[in-house]
Amino acid sequence: MKKNFLLLLYVSCLCAIISCEEKKVSSPSITPTNKTIDSVSATLTSLKDSADKAWGLMIKSDDQKINDLLRLLQEISYCKKYNAPLLDSLFEATKIMKQKRYQQLTMMSEEIDRYDEFTNQLIARTKYLARTTSELQSHPIAETLYNDIAKADNDVVLHRTLYDRFATEYNNYLEANKTVLGEKGKDFKKLPLFSLSA
């Protein structure tokens, strides 16, 4: 509940920042002056910063999910009886999750789909191992980790939607001001989105 409140508060603050920045930008003239170019550049930088913050929030959540998976697997290893080959394979797979994750500036839908499939299978197999390790029921932290992993996994869509919202605003503003920016437009690149329709 507290995390959801903080996330909503964060989103509200970022929206307020973007709103204020957009109001500062005057309509570009046909022959842009340096002042106009600087103003557009400043707004683009602000919009990009908002998208970056949303991305950082998403990655932080994903990193925590990976850490919780590793901690749950470690807790299973403390039990007297468990499926050792499965545990070992899950440990190895979890350790390379960050290497398999998409990158902000280069991500493509195929990469996102592959990472999602990899993550879904890993979580499903970890939950199976947890359920079939009877002694784990006497480890209270296991249930907490299990719930935290599930929550983080459910929040993925929320984080991606938030990022796409800011990235789309940045992309649209960049596209609308290409003429104003001229050569300086090369300093700004469009951001890939999670949603193909965004």
What angle (nearest 5°) sits at the alpha carbon of residue 189, between those of residues 172 and 8? 55
% of the chain at pLDDT higher than 70: 81
Q: Between 10 and 37, where is the model more confident?
A: 37
Q: Which of 6, 35, 11 is nearest to 164 (CA)?
A: 11
Q: Report the distance separating Cα 14 and Cα 44, nearest Å.
A: 14
| Arithmetic mean of pLDDT over the chain | 87
* Long-range pairs for 184-188: beta carbons < 8 A, 24 or more residues apart: 184/37, 184/41, 187/41, 188/41, 188/44, 188/48
Tokens at 71, concatenated: 């901690």
In sequence order, which residues have a C-beta less than 8 Å from that of residue 8 and are 6 or more positions away? none
Task: Give me the pLDDT at residue 22, please.
Answer: 45
Tokens at 194, concatenated: 């999670």
Tokens at 153, concatenated: 């996994």
Task: Give me the pLDDT at residue 170, please.
Answer: 97
Task: Give me the pLDDT at residue 8, please.
Answer: 53
Contact 98, 63 (CB under 8 A): yes
Question: pTM to 2 decimals?
Answer: 0.81
Q: Where do we find the tokens 């197999």?
A: 125
Residue 29 pLDDT exceeds 90: no
Residue 65 pLDDT exceeds 90: yes
Task: Give me the pLDDT at residue 32, please.
Answer: 53
DSSP reduced 3-state for 88: helix
Categorize the per-residue pLDDT at 145 as very low, low, confident or very high, splitting at 50, 70 and 90: very high
